[in-house]
A = this chain, B = another copy of it.
Amino acid sequence: MDRFFSQRARNVRRSVLRELLKFTQRPEIISFAGGTPDPGTFPWEELADIAAREIRANYARSLQYSTTEGDIGLRRELLEIARAEGIRADLEEIVITTASQQGLDLIAKTFLDPGDVVYVELPTYIGAIQAFRAMEAKLVGIHLEEDGMDLDALRGRIAADKARGERAKFIYVIPDFQNPAGVRWSEEKRLGLLDIAAEEDLLVVEDAPYRPLRFAGDPVPSLKALDREGRVIFLFTLSKILAPGLRIAALIGSREVVDKIVAMKQAADLCTPALTQALAREFLRRHDFEGHVEKIRACYREKRDRMLDALERYMPEGVRWTRPEGGLFLWVTLPEGVDTERMFPKALERKVAYVIGAPFFVDGTGRNTMRLSFAIATPEEIEEGIRRLAEVVKEELAALSTTAQI
């Protein structure tokens, strides 16, 4: 069989994470591993009514093929949300995608030839790593600090790559409450990144799935809203603020970019389901979307607070974590020498689960890190789960220090 596979297929493997997640689904385990939103936040009553109505009254459209660009009413609704964010775009500058993962796939296909360089955060979203690697890109990781990417390091790396004749295409970032680290970029760093992109003539891909989920801190403009040169491609999804089971997202970019992305989408899936587009459109039209998102923020704020409290209370010295102002995740860094993958089975024994950090690092580092989601567990489970996890960590540290003494 091997002779048939393409070069890119040889490089691509199933995500370690998705395989590990299978172990975490036993009901007795308190899992901070999943990347999914809390189903309690899904507006299921509204969506059930809309679904029945949209199918009955409108089946010739809602059950038929859609256009590749996507439902025009839905695009209008999403442009309005974008406008409230300071992003001005028209109908030719937006395309509906089968969730943001497809946006990443289409970006990879549209821009990346084998060997092309993409700059990413260390750590960054695994789905982006997979999409870019599937098109045989070379991913270069730049350290993520508390307020965004280390821009000096980025500048230095770009210069070095240029000197070696590498062909760079874009910088991929998740500036708001990043998956996995929960970090938010400062406005200063956002402006700095755009300066670098302009100087070095690079595109910027801004992935913003968690941006609406800010439950603390002051607003900071998106890169796309700050963009004066049309360099930023903006990915926006309803997965975390409506329901991931609809697979509805949008990509906003220049006309030239959107035109190519639409051509690529024709070859990828022709169109996103008309039915789930209709559900999203009608929810946005008929319901109080901002009020709905505010309820989700309150839900995650409470859970984050509980997780931060518990970490403070139970974790031993030397363990550090981020304090996210939004999103679903926080990021834990254990002392050097701890390997969260090796520790994983011990956590499962104690009936608590997390996601190992290393797969989020394109440079092979991050073995002492882990991602914790506060989205799914109840506040009580969060308390108890962190207590268990702290025990595991303490044992691991004790074992390490014994080994060190020997």
Q: What is the interface of chain A, defined by CB distance below 8 A to chain B? A: 1, 4-9, 12-15, 18, 36-37, 39, 42, 44-45, 47-49, 51-52, 55-56, 59-66, 68, 98-99, 101-102, 104-105, 108-113, 116, 127, 130-131, 133-135, 169-170, 203, 243-247, 254, 256-257, 259-260, 262-264, 266-276, 279
Inter-chain CA distance A169–B63, complex, in Å, is: 35
Inter-chain CA distance A259–B264, complex, in Å, is: 24
Q: Which of B45, B68, B110, B245 contacts A9 (CB 8 A)?
A: B110
Q: Which of B4, B110, B127, B269 contacts A5 (CB 8 A)?
A: B110
B267 to A105, Cβ gap below 8 A? yes
Inter-chain CA distance A40–B257, complex, in Å, is: 37
On whether A111 and B244 interact (CB within 8 A), knowing A36-B64, A51-B48, the answer reads no
- In the complex, what residue of chain B is closest to A42 when comparing beta carbons? B63
- In the complex, what residue of chain B is closest to A262 when comparing beta carbons? B14
B65 to A244, Cβ gap below 8 A? yes
CB distance from A9 to the nearest CB of B (A): 5
Residues of B within 8 A of A111 (CB): 4-6, 9
CB distance from A45 to the nearest CB of B (A): 7
- For this complex, 21 residue pairs linking A to B, each with C-beta atoms less than 8 Å apart, are A1-B257, A5-B111, A7-B113, A9-B111, A12-B260, A12-B264, A18-B266, A39-B63, A42-B64, A44-B59, A48-B56, A52-B52, A59-B243, A63-B246, A98-B269, A101-B269, A109-B134, A127-B266, A127-B267, A130-B266, A245-B275
Inter-chain CA distance A111–B273, complex, in Å, is: 26
B36 to A65, Cβ gap below 8 A? yes
Inter-chain CA distance A7–B49, complex, in Å, is: 46
Inter-chain CA distance A186–B104, complex, in Å, is: 42
Q: Which of B127, B244, B271 contacts A64 (CB 8 A)?
A: B244
Residue with the highest number of chain B CB atoms closer than 10 Å, among A48, A60, A108, A257 = A48
B44 to A51, Cβ gap below 8 A? no
B101 to A267, Cβ gap below 8 A? yes
Residues of B within 8 A of A269 (CB): 98-99, 101-102, 105, 247, 269
Inter-chain CA distance A61–B13, complex, in Å, is: 26
On whether A273 and B273 interact (CB within 8 A), knowing A9-B260, A9-B264, A110-B6, the answer reads yes
Q: Which of B4, B6, B12, B260 contacts A263 (CB 8 A)?
A: B12
Inter-chain CA distance A270–B259, complex, in Å, is: 24
Residues of B within 8 A of A273 (CB): 98, 245-247, 273, 276
A13 to B263, Cβ gap below 8 A? yes
Inter-chain CA distance A264–B8, complex, in Å, is: 9
CB distance from A6 to the nearest CB of B (A): 5
Inter-chain CA distance A390–B387, complex, in Å, is: 80
- In the complex, what residue of chain B is closest to A66 when comparing beta carbons? B245
On whether A48 and B39 interact (CB within 8 A), knowing A9-B260, A256-B1, A273-B245, the answer reads no
Can you list the 10 inter-chain pairs with the closest CB atoms, starting with the nearest? A44-B59, A245-B274, A63-B243, A51-B51, A39-B60, A48-B55, A130-B267, A63-B245, A52-B52, A134-B267
Residues of B within 8 A of A105 (CB): 267-269
- In the complex, what residue of chain B is closest to A58 when comparing beta carbons? B44
- In the complex, what residue of chain B is closest to A202 when comparing beta carbons? B4
On whether A52 and B48 interact (CB within 8 A), knowing A68-B18, A270-B127, A275-B245, the answer reads yes
- In the complex, what residue of chain B is closest to A47 when comparing beta carbons? B55
For the complex with contacts A273-B276, A275-B275, 10 further pairs of A-B residues with Cβ separation under 8 Å are: A6-B110, A36-B64, A36-B65, A37-B64, A51-B52, A101-B270, A102-B269, A130-B267, A131-B267, A247-B272
